[in-house]
A and B are shown apart, each in its own frame.
Chain A
């Protein structure tokens, strides 16, 4: 639907005309320099369709996996438009939704409360999110414990290296507009392609997808084992970054790479 420019109010007209330019300029430059990276990321997003199919009987999954996908997909869009701050905010949302999904898979009552916008966890328990304080809940899960036992210190998700906590903290600086995470840069007020911003976001994106897939495998191990070998390999090989994480996940599911 094309917009009739002449009929727009003044400020809206200014905004409309400028957004057409900065969006297409940033998009074009991003694709010119990074089309291969973008393709790689979209391939990672395809994995969520496999999870969606596998977990289709779960109401929580049917709601949250679509949201996790859209957060990731919009993150790519925002980054391609030079909106790195907002692209990173989407990644934090992806991680939170994944953690919630795993929690809700064994807490249907809490899922129902959450669906009804009941914030019992905040008001009565004073927790930031549904799963309780910190990441204690996830650290207690048998599959997670086993995974952590197998990993060396530098690769643990919740203990020692605390990979999940660290990336969450990094992404939170974008949510809370930390100085190093501001959208505005000296001499760059309007959104534009910036190689350093893109690279930083790209690294965060890959890290988040990786932890998401590890946590989904550990949280839904039975469902994952029912997938055919091709899909299992695709999720592990495309969805997880670190070789050690891939290896340890394979050990847990009882296959060799």
Chain B
């Protein structure tokens, strides 16, 4: 399995950066030297995206919160990118639902880069379902932080394990939001085997979860085949914006 650092540059240059720059130019046209975007990024010791975001004047390190669950990488990141805040010591997808989630106090963010491919993923059943659960918690926290628009990047590695759409629906519907009717089981088969259908599922579910928290999500995707390892990298970039309030008649 290649190091995520090897394919990350392609994701950065062809998807993440163009999206982020476009978003920043529209939302902060007058800030030229530094768009001052607050960034949350799941990253590895290379922290390529942080450096590229800085080079493109989207942010500076003092506005960055980086996350990795491995102590050795937290140590390295703290050494390499001060004064960025470096957090971790647990997997993001295992801690995002906790009331004591350490990143919680730093929300909201202008860019939330949930790059799970950089977190040395364990290829067990239920991994992507958990990641999507933490993606929803991230949206929830953005909503609590009253963030009106931001960039959401989600990257994962698809392997041969089936994707359980049933569990995605169940996990999401277990997070109660008033007046939310829930995800529909009939949209996809309970268990998805084909890679293309998994990507379609993720791309379809994301805007629906956004709507749950009164956000619209406009998505673009990128897929990199890791044929030699029987895996695929799937990355989705979304501009998330608050739905306009319904007028009361």
A residues sitting closer than 8 Å to B (CB atoms) are 42, 45-46, 48-49, 52-53, 56-57, 62, 65-66, 69-70, 73, 228, 230-231
Give complex CA distance A14, B69 in Å. 40
B72 touches A52 (CB 8 A): no
How far, in Å, is B82 (CB) from chain A's closest CB? 10
Which residues of B are found within 8 Å of A48, using beta-carbon distances?
71
> Which of the segments B49-57, B88-96, B159-167, B241-249 contacts the partner chain?
B88-96
A70→B78 CA distance, assembly (Å): 13
Chain B residue with the shortest CB-CB distance to A69: B71
Q: How far is the CA of A70 from the CA of B75 in the complex (A)?
A: 9
**Residues of B with C-beta under 8 A to A230:** 122, 124
Told that A49-B89, A62-B89 touch, could you supply 13 new A-B pairs with CB distance under 8 A?
A: A42-B72, A45-B71, A45-B72, A48-B71, A49-B69, A49-B70, A49-B72, A52-B71, A52-B90, A53-B69, A56-B90, A73-B75, A230-B122
Known pairs A57-B98, A228-B122, A230-B124; A73 contacts B71 (CB<8 A): yes
- Give the distance in Å from the alpha carbon of A231 to the alpha carbon of B127 in the complex: 14
25 A/B residue pairs, CB under 8 Å, sorted by A: A45-B71, A45-B72, A46-B72, A48-B71, A49-B70, A49-B71, A52-B69, A52-B89, A52-B90, A53-B89, A53-B94, A56-B89, A56-B90, A56-B94, A56-B95, A56-B98, A62-B89, A65-B89, A66-B89, A69-B71, A70-B71, A73-B75, A228-B122, A228-B124, A230-B122
Picked from A57, A65, A73, the residue with its CB within 8 Å of the CB of B72 is A73
CB A85 to nearest CB in B, in angstroms, measures 23
B71 touches A66 (CB 8 A): yes
User: Complex Cα distance A231/B124, Å?
Assistant: 10
Determine the chain B residues whose CB is within 8 A of the CB of A46 once the complex forms: 70, 72
Closest 9 CB pairs of A and B: A56-B90, A69-B71, A53-B90, A52-B89, A49-B70, A228-B124, A53-B91, A49-B71, A49-B69
Q: How far is the CA of A56 from the CA of B96 in the complex (A)?
A: 12
In the assembled complex, the CB of B79 is this many whole angstroms from the nearest CB of chain A, namely 12
- A-B pair count, CB < 8 Å, reads 40
**Is A231 in contact with B71, judged by CB distance below 8 angstroms?**
no
Interface of B is mostly: loop
**Bound-complex Cα distance A70 to B94 (A):** 23
How close is A66's CB to chain B, nearest CB, in angstroms? 6
Complex Cα distance, B69 from A228, in Å, reads 17
Within the complex, the shortest CB–CB distance from A227 to chain B, in Å, comes to: 10
By a CB distance below 8 angstroms, the chain B residues around A228 are 122, 124
| A111 to B: closest C-beta gap in Å | 16
Q: How far is the CA of A65 from the CA of B95 in the complex (A)?
A: 16
Q: What's the least CB distance linking B157 to chain A, in Å?
A: 16
Within B114-129, the residues touching A (CB, 8 Å) are 122, 124
| Nearest CB of B to A184, in Å | 30
Smallest CB separation, A90 vs chain B (Å): 15
Docked CA distance A69–B69 (Å): 13
Rounded to whole Å, the gap between the CB of B16 and the closest CB of chain A is 26
Q: Of all chain B residues, which has the CB nearest A46?
A: B70
Q: How far is the CB of A16 from chain B (nearest CB, A)?
A: 20
Contacts of A45 in B (CB 8 A): 71-72
Residues of B within 8 A of A62 (CB): 89
Minimum Cβ distance to chain A for residue B239 (Å): 32
| Contact of B89 with A231 in the complex, beta carbons under 8 Å | no
Distance of A157 Cα from B89 Cα, bound (Å): 29
What is the bound-complex CA distance between A228 and B126, given in angstroms? 11
Interface set, chain B 47-73, CB cutoff 8 A to A: 69-72
Q: Give A116 Cβ to nearest chain B Cβ, in Å.
A: 20
- Determine the chain A residues whose CB is within 8 A of the CB of B71 once the complex forms: 45, 48-49, 52, 66, 69-70, 73
Can you name the residue of chain B whose Cβ is closest to the Cβ of A42? B72
Q: Chain A residues with Cβ under 8 A from B91's Cβ? A: 53
Query: With A and B bound together, what is the CA distance between A232 and B98 in angstroms?
Result: 24
Q: Which residue of A lies closest to B91 (CB)?
A: A53
- Min Cβ gap A71→B in Å is 11
Residues of A within 8 Å of B69, CB to CB, are: 49, 52-53
Give B71-113 as 1s and 0s: 1 = Cβ < 8 Å from A's Cβ atoms. 1100100000000000001110011001000000000000000
Q: For A231, list chain B residues within 8 Å (CB).
A: 122
Q: How far is the CB of A35 from chain B (nearest CB, A)?
A: 16
* Chain B nearest CB, measured from A12 CB (Å): 23
Chain B residue with Cβ nearest A229: B124
**Closest residue of chain A to B125, judged by CB?**
A228
Interchain nearest-CB distance for B181 vs A (Å): 32
Q: Provide the bound-state CA to CA distance between A48 and B71, in Å.
A: 8
Query: What CA separation (Å) do A58 and B249 show in the bound complex?
Result: 51
Which residues of the other chain, A, contact B94 by a CB distance below 8 angstroms? 53, 56
